[in-house]
Amino acid sequence: MNLIIGTRRVTPDAITRTAEGVEAILHGEALLSLLDAAFHGAGTIEILGGDLDRHRMEVTGIDMLGGETRVTLAALGAGQRLM
């Protein structure tokens, strides 16, 4: 699974499926893009791949431990359909 943040495809260092969505480990530009989208409205956040393919996501938690930032994302509604 990858993240689509705005128009950018981001591959997390690690991504794990949770009951509500996913938990992703991000750093650098990927993390900054996600924070801009979540807090400044600079694009949407969606999942690419897996059973949550094309689902919009919202940030529900950010944990910083050492050099690792773990972001929890929850799915919003149904996935987008391709025409």
| C-beta separation of 25 from 70 below 8 A | yes
Residue 36, class by beta-carbon neighbours within 10 Å (0-12 exposed, 13-18 middle, 19+ buried)? middle
Q: CA 54, 41, 18, 11: dihedral to nearest 10 degrees?
A: 70
pLDDT computed for residue 77 by the predictor? 72
Domain ranges of the chain: 2-76
Cα 71 from Cα 63, distance rounded (Å): 6
pLDDT per residue of the chain (83 residues) written in tens, 0 to 9: 999 999 899 999 999 999 999 999 999 999 999 999 988 887 889 999 989 998 999 999 999 988 899 999 999 876 556 55
Question: What does the alpha-carbon distance between residue 47 and residue 51 come to, in Å, rounded to a whole number?
Answer: 9
pTM of the model: 0.85
